[in-house]
Structure 1
């Protein structure tokens, strides 16, 4: 395959070729597990608590406060999800402090 640049045909960069060595961008970059965050916000809503996903992603103190609130509720599923989110948040904080 070739690309036309400045009127000349040039081969495309090798990085556009198919590769079996794909690594998920979410795993590679340490992005927040959005499905887990969505589950957390829905479970909190089930207890009448409104949680801002934008604030959870952008404000560490807010996120820790919401996770602590979840741990104090009598809901084992919510506590488990909050624990997994805390582990991710703790790991993300460690990456930032390096």
Structure 2
């Protein structure tokens, strides 16, 4: 699989559970929208600028341009956020028990 690096792309949309986002890559007059799929909620928010790397996935869209040529849907799978501090994902505090720490604690030893 091909690995793609997206530098300084803007988050345009956060999907329902935060596991996916749509980012905009802009180069001059050309714009490319990428769907990015994470295993866990990323903590990214609309308007964030971030650099990512991951595996490329492209498929032919059902939509077509005025001249009849199809659009391509670009996706980035198993992405890694580069050069950004991860943001905490909001969690409900209704059942928080300080004597029982979350199993989802941050692992600072992770290489990414």
Work out which structure has the larger RCO, using CA pairs closer than 8 Å and 6 or more positions apart in sequence: 2
Higher strand share: 2
Same fold per superposition (TM over 0.5): no
Q: TM-score, normalised by structure 1?
A: 0.26
Higher helix share: 1
Q: TM-score, normalised by structure 2?
A: 0.24
